[in-house]
């Protein structure tokens, strides 16, 4: 079957807000959580992987609150990661799913980690792809080049800044096809999308919304099996940040990918899909 944005689109209402998700395949539920960034959505991150992954899993690709076509609270009154994590649990509740694998890219990796820590019985295995909030950079600059470019876009959401952010996401700029660039720039220019990402990031830097402990300080309490996937040339969450969680997580493997930036699922698509299927079906 050919999966498209249109024929996979579903809707669920959580906390009074309509959330879009894409559903494909059958089998063990697998929730896929996108990262942050200019023009991001669940489909933009994972639409190209559904044809393969849906042969093995019931894939649920969520537009997190405020991103893609999902609604959101008008004012955020807590850390955005917690808002997004609550949305994941709410979606599972509405769909009658007791437990699911969680796969998160970047910010989505942080959301998957928080969800598994706070609701351990609802998460099965975790795939964390260059997850935010979990790694600790000890050598490179903080924030990283990619995060600086994203913050530049948040302050001045121009096409030039959006394109600069996209270029920092990949090892090989040929990955950024004209179609991909056009789609992302069009989505990034939507005033609602701009406001959503600005508001989400504002919660990360607001002391009032700080968690009692950062995610990286809670990792030893995550008992689930975890596969971490990291591009060797990631300029958003540099690969050095993988070393701390690789040591702290009690049941985790780490795999790095050559010729790859922040988008493992795109730049190393086939290897990514093989790694995910093998891990989720057979474990560590």
Selecting among 17, 119, 262, 282, the annotated active-site residue is 262
Q: Is the pLDDT of residue 8 over 90?
A: yes
Give the pLDDT band of residue 136 (cuts 50, 70, 90): confident
Q: Whole-prediction pTM value?
A: 0.96
| 154-209 confidence digits (pLDDT tens) | 888 888 998 999 999 999 999 999 999 999 889 888 998 899 889 999 999 999 99
Q: For residue 135, what pLDDT is reported?
A: 87
**Contact criterion met (CB below 8 Å) for 112 and 132:** no
Task: Return mean pLDDT, the chain.
Answer: 95
**Contact criterion met (CB below 8 Å) for 34 and 200:** no
CATH of the domain at 48: 3.40.50.1820
Domain of residue 107, residue span: 5-282
Percent of the chain with pLDDT over 90: 85
Catalytic status, residue 262:
yes
Q: What is the mean pLDDT of residues 55-71?
A: 97
Q: What is the mean pLDDT of residues 138-146?
A: 87
Q: For residue 242, what pLDDT is reported?
A: 95
Count how many domains the chain has: 1
């Amino acid at each position: 079957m050919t999966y498209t944005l249109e024929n996979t689109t579903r809707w669920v209402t959580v906390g009074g807000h309509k959330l879009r998700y894409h559903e494909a395949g059958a089998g063990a539920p697998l929730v896929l959580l996108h990262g942050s960034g200019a023009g991001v959505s669940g489909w933009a991150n994972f639409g190209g992987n559904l044809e393969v992954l849906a042969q093995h899993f019931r894939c649920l690709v969520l537009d997190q609150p405020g991103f893609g076509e999902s609604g959101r609270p008008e004012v955020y009154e807590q850390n955005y990661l917690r808002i997004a994590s609550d949305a994941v649990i709410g979606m599972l509740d509405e769909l009658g799913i007791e437990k699911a694998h969680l796969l998160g890219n970047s910010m989505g990796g942080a959301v998957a980690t928080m969800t598994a820590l706070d609701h351990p019985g609802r998460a099965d295995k975790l795939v964390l792809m260059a997850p935010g909030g979990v790694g600790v950079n000890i050598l490179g600059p903080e924030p990283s080049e990619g995060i600086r470019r994203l913050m530049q876009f948040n302050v001045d959401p121009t096409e030039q800044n959006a394109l600069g952010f996209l270029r920092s996401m990949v090892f090989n700029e040929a990955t950024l096809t004209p179609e991909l660039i056009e789609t992302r720039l069009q989505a990034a220019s939507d005033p609602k999308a701009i406001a959503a990402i600005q508001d989400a990031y504002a919660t990360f830097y607001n002391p009032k919304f700080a968690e009692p402990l950062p995610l990286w300080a809670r990792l030893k309490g995550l008992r689930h099996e975890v596969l971490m996937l990291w591009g060797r040339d990631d300029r958003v969450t540099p690969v050095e940040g993988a070393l701390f969680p690789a040591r702290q997580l009690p049941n985790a493997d780490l795999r790095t990918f050559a010729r790859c930036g922040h988008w493992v699922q795109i730049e190393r698509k086939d290897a990514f899909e093989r790694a995910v299927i093998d891990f989720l079906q057979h474990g560590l």
